[in-house]
Each structure stands twice: as C-alpha cells, then as structure tokens.
Structure 1
Amino acid sequence: MKNFIAIILFIAPHFIYAQMDSLTMKNGDLIVGEIKKLDKGIVEMKTEYSDVNFKIDWHGIQNMICNTKFAVTLSNGDRYFGSIHSSDKNEFSITTKDSADVSIDPKNIVYLKPVKDSFINKLSASIDVGYNYTKANSLSQLNTNIYLAYNSKKWIVSLKINSIRSVQNNVDPIVRDEGELTAGYFLPKDFYSTASISYLTNTEQSINLRAITSVGLGKFIVHTNKAYWGISSGISYLSESFNATTDENGMTTTKPSNLSTEWYLGTEINLFDIGDLSFNGTAKGYRELSSNERWRIDAGANLKYSLPHDFYIKTGYKMNYDTQPVEVGKELDYQYTLGFGWEL
C-alpha cells in the first residue's frame, strides 16, 4: 500500500504537468501554466505560482507545447482548431481535431483562444471615466465610456456606449450620448460580414435622436499580432429627429424628421505593439442614395496607456461632420476626452 501511494505521489506531478501548457522564452526561462488567450501580440497565461495572469510578448517565445485545444487565427484569415507544439522557433505545428499536422510560421499567428472556455473568459470589457474643470469660465465636463464584447469561434458581438456632459455658466448644458451594438461574422481569407445598430443624441448639433442600422462586408488589409487594419462597405438606414432651434430673428422652428438610405465606407486601425501604448482609430463616411447633396463623416481615435492590474489611462477624440446640419454653421462637432479606467 505504501508503495502504491509513493507511486501515485511520484506520477501525479508529472501527470499535472503534462496537462498544462509550457512556454520556453528566448532568454531560456520556462513558464508552465494554462494559456488563456493570445490577442494583440500578448499571451495571457495562468500559473499556479501567481494570483495574477502573466502577460507575455508573443515575440519573446522560443518554443511552446500546449495541451489546450485552441481556436487559432492566422494573418491570412485561415482558422484552425487544435493544439500547438513546436521544436523550432521558426515553425510551429497545429494538430487539428482530425489528427492532421499543419505547419505555420509563428509570426502569422494573430489570435489564440481555448475552444472549451467558460462564458466569462470569452468576454472582454472596459470602463473609464474622466472629469475636467476650467475655473476661468466655470466649465465642467464628465465623460464615461463603456465597452463590452463576446468572442466566439466564428463571430463577435460588441457594445460601445459613450456619454459626455458639459456644463458652463450662462450657456445651455451640452449633452452627447452615443452607442453601437455590432455583430461580426468571420469569413475565409480575412473577409467578414458585419451588422450594427447605433444611436446618437447631440444637443450641440440639435440632434434629438439619430438611429442607424447598417449591414456590410469587410476585409482585413493588415492582420498581424502587431496591427489590424480593415475596411468595410455596405448599406445603412438612417432615422433622425431634431430639437427645436431659434434663428437670428428669434423664431423657433423644428426641422422635420428624416428617413433615408445611405451607402457607407468605413475603416478601422488598431496598433498594439508599441510597449504599454495602444492606438485605435475609426472613420466612416456616409453618402445619401436619394440625393448626392448630403454626406456625413463619423470618426474617432483613442490612445491608451496600460497600467498595472489592468488599469489604464486613455485620451480620446470624437468627430461628427454633416454637410446639411440642422443649424447653419454647426456642420462640425468634436470632443477631446481624458479618462482613467479598468479592463477585463
């Protein structure tokens, strides 16, 4: 009996070790644990000897042996499901579910996610809040940003909410709220389909509510573990209602509601291999189909600096341009924000 217990105690650590993933770094360090994901050039790994997951630069890995089954995305848009192992720093192998080995260059791996993962681990979220006050004109501004996303093997659903409140002496308060619910389905060769519903209220441009429903097709032009850049195009349905405005003669009028169909062209870029900094920029132009007289542009950019324990500092820019605004002279509206936040 004692011999049996001794054998179990001897085998158990090796069995546990065999069920885990191991990474050999270029400096010779060995890290053993469970890979939670690879995204934006960073491997997140859970270990038994730390309460906080390790975050490792993908380019610093020499070899890896993984028992975890992954959903793997390559820079050319190909997707595989299986385990990864390597014997050479310039070549990794994916053993798929039908036991076939696929050789790949590790530089071409842009995303890893365990196939059998919990619901919470498929979520990503962030929230940040900023407050600015200027004594000279008693201007105070509060801005809030919320982001929530769910990643599956073939699709992603994300929700973005942004709110800005500005109060100043002798000036009407400025309220700007916007949000977007987006669903994307990944297609072969780095193509993807997308559908979204968004809203905007903006007292500065007298927009009571602007609702946009869009469907389109996109493609990643650059898709690496250092950067993403994609373009998309499609059709959108626009519904608008407006606030009352007062002209120079003191007459108050309300512009009639508008329903129209538009063609759009959009682009998004993400840069994340710049140390603790990451950058995201988006732009989308709309052209009314029933008339060539009106077009609009929505654009934004965020620069984020990562802090310990998943906190961050972020500065942002938002811009809306309309060739046919409710009030002449208010074609352009933009905001700068600075906030402190936390991400999941």
Structure 2
Amino acid sequence: MKHCFVRLFLIFAFFTSAPLFSQTDSIFFKNKDLLIGEIKSMDRGVITVSTAYSKEDFKVKWVQVDRILTNVPFIITTSDGIRTFGNVIGSESGKLTFKPEKSESVVLQLYNIIGINKVETRFLDRLKAEIDLGFTVAKARNQRQLTIRSRVGYLTKKWALSGSFNVLASVQDETEAIGRMDANLTYIYFLQKDWFAVGRLDFLSNTEQKLDLRSNTKLGFGKFIKRDNHLYWNFSAGTSFNNERFMGEAEKRQSAESWFGSEVNLFDVGDISLLSNVYAYPSITEKGRVRVDYRVDLKYNLPLDFYIKTGLTWNYDNKPTPGAPLHDYVWQTTFGWSWK
C-alpha cells in the first residue's frame, strides 16, 4: 500500500509540475531541423531560443527559419513600420498568421518580420544590459587609465527606455589628471509607420574642453528611413535646452537649441556589428554657435555573450569657452559582456 501511495504521488507531481517546465514554442528550420523551446526574441536578424536541456540560449539566423508555432503573445515589428501586439494563430512555410490585440488577423511573410519581442511580466525580464571595461598600465610616468562603458534598456508594448554611462579616467606623474564622463537617458514612444517620439537627457563632463558639466534636454520626433534584418537607419529632430558650467566660471550658461540627428546600425555581418550616430545643435539664442556630437562603435561578438568593442567619440563646439579647443575626441577599446 505504501508503494502505491508513492507511485500516485510521483505521477501527480509529474503532471502538476510539467506545465512549469513545458516548452511551448516550436521553430522549424529550412533544413528540416526542429527546435522546441521558448522564443525569447528576434532582433537584428537573430532569433534567440531558450531550452530546458541547455544552459545557454540558442541563437540562429532568422533567414534559416521556415515557420514557428507558439501560443505566447508577442510584439511583432515589420519592415514597413508596423509594430503591433498579439498572438500567432497559424503558420506555414515562410508565413505566419498573426492576430493583433485589437484588429483582424493578418498573414505576414517571415522575411518582412524584423523584430519579435515577448512582453515579460516581471521587471527584470524586460531589462537588457551591457558593460565594458578597459584598463591600461604604463611604466612611463606611472600612467594608469580606466575605461568603463555601460548600457541598459527596458521595453514595453508602447515605449522603450534606455540609458548609458561612460567614464574615462587617466592619471600620470607630473601631469594633470584627465577625466571624461558622458551619460544619457532616452525615452522613445513608438508610433505607426516607423515614426517615434523621443525625449532625451544628455550629460557631458570633459577636462579637455574645460567643461565641468553640460546637461542637455531634448524633445523631438523621428522616423526610421530603413529598417530590416541587416540594418536600421533613422533620422530625428527637435528642440533642446542646454545648461553648461565651465571650469573657472562662477555663472552657468543656458541656451536654447534646435537639433538634428541620425543613427545607423549595421548588424548580421558575421559576428561584427557597427553603430554610428551624429547630432548637430545649431543654437537659437547664441548667434552663430553650432555644436556636434559624433560616435562610432565596432563590436565583435565572442562566445558566452562576451564581446570586444572599439569606438570613437568626438565632440565639437565652434564657440568654446576661452582657452578650450574647438573639439575633443576619445578612442576606446574595451572587453564587455551583455545580459540578454
């Protein structure tokens, strides 16, 4: 009798716990392989799938997928600028039938889908993060240099929030210390047809340009000019409020600016990706003043979500504070790790 109760308990435990470990998604590939697991996302031409039998997520190129089956709601983004939330209700070779939350079902070609994101319920599951570190030691003048670069993102159905924090600190004997810090916080509200509204707060501190701190608050609109599984390119514009404090100056400087920006991200080129953006700030209240911020990063992906990144950041001001140069730049090479 005792063994009977044990067997009944094990059977009950198996069937009641099975849903907790069930893998609800099936991904069929063009070479006839089948992967059963949990679709976490499809971004930049790569679909990420978690399985119960592997500690590491599987990452496969989207062009290799023939069809998918899932009952989990997703945000799906297409190359013609449609971004909608709903469920996959059917699939066949090269296509899927998608039922948006508040409209009729549509048939989508897989090659037109450029993004799949599951809307997680837990706060931490919606986060993505990267951190890069670099450290240089030289005997000459006892030089020490530390570089830290970081980025975090948060995604919902309608909007996205991202931030970054980057630091360069260098000290050596018989020379003044060099310091540079830039950070930003960006809010994007997604509109239809590849349009978006953007609010952004930028910070910059730079000993080379005698800048104690610059805070710049931007509001505007943008549009993706091109977006597919190999690259995206957007353009944005708006107005901003600039607040600056320079070294040796007691008074803060405040000004209003217009701004124009563009960003290009090239990916799915083997293990290499390229991100570049530029922002120009013609001043409204300071006649003839123009500032420019430019950045380009080249990233090489390594196993286990590690990567090597090298990049250039350049800042220009045609009317700097007295004694400061017109421009400053920093080239950084770092080793990093990404979370999700």
Q: Which residue of 2 aligns with 1:77?
A: 81
Map 1:107-146 → 2, pairs under 5 A: 107-136=111-140, 138-146=142-150
Contact residue 255 and residue 326 of structure 1 kept, 8 A: no
Contact 1:18 1:67 in 2 (8 A): no
TM-score by length of 2: 0.90
Cα shift readout 1:200-232 (whole Å, capped 9, x = no counterpart): 111111001111111010000111121111110
Q: TM-score, normalised by structure 1?
A: 0.89
Structure 1 residue matching 2:234: 3-state secondary structure = strand
Counterpart of 1:221 (choices 225, 230, 239) is 225
Q: What amino acid maps onto 2:196 in structure 1?
A: Y
Equivalent in the alignment of 1:159: 163
Please state if 1:296 is matched with 2:291. yes
The aligned counterpart of 2:53 is: 49
Tell me if structure 1 keeps the 8 A contact 2:39–2:49: yes
SS in structure 2 of the partner of residue 59 of structure 1: helix
CA RMSD in angstroms, aligned pairs only: 2.7
Say if 2:261 is the partner of 1:266.
yes
Find the counterpart in structure 2 of residue 307 from structure 1: 302
Alignment-derived partner of residue 333 in structure 1: 328
Post-superposition CA distance 1:117-139 (Å, at most 9, x none)? 43222111011101224445654
1:278 is aligned, of 273, 283, 287, to 273
Q: 1:19 to 1:237 in 2, by over 3 A?
A: same
Write the letter of the residue equivalent to 2:282: R
Amino acid at match of 1:122: R
- Give the secondary-structure state (helix, strand or coil) at the position aligned to 1:189: coil
What letter is aligned with 1:241?
R
SS of 1:205's equivalent in the other structure is: coil
Q: Retained in 1: the 8 A contact 2:23–2:36? A: no
Q: Is the 8 Å Cα contact of residues 22 and 30 (structure 1) preserved in structure 2?
A: yes
- Name the SS for the 1:188 alignment partner: coil
Offset of 1:336 from its aligned partner? Answer: 0.5
Q: What residue number does 1:248 align with?
A: none
The number of residue pairs the alignment matches comes to 332
Counterpart residue number, 1:66: 70
Compared CA separation, residues 98 and 260, structure 1 to 2 (3 A): closer
Per-residue deviation, 1:92: 2.3
Determine the structure 1 residue equivalent to 2:92: 87
1:86-145 deviation digits (Å, cap 9, x = unpaired): 2122x3221334683201221221111123543222111011101224445654321101
User: Matched residue of 2:125: which SS?
Assistant: helix
Deviations 1:19-75 (A, max 9, x none): 611111122210011101111111111112111111111111112112221111112
Change (3 A) 1:19 1:100: farther
Task: Measure, in 2, the Cα distance between the counterparts of 1:330 and 1:50.
Answer: 54
CA deviation after TM superposition for structure 1 residue 178, in Å: 1.2
Gapped runs of 5+ residues in structure 1?
245-253
Q: Percent identity?
A: 36
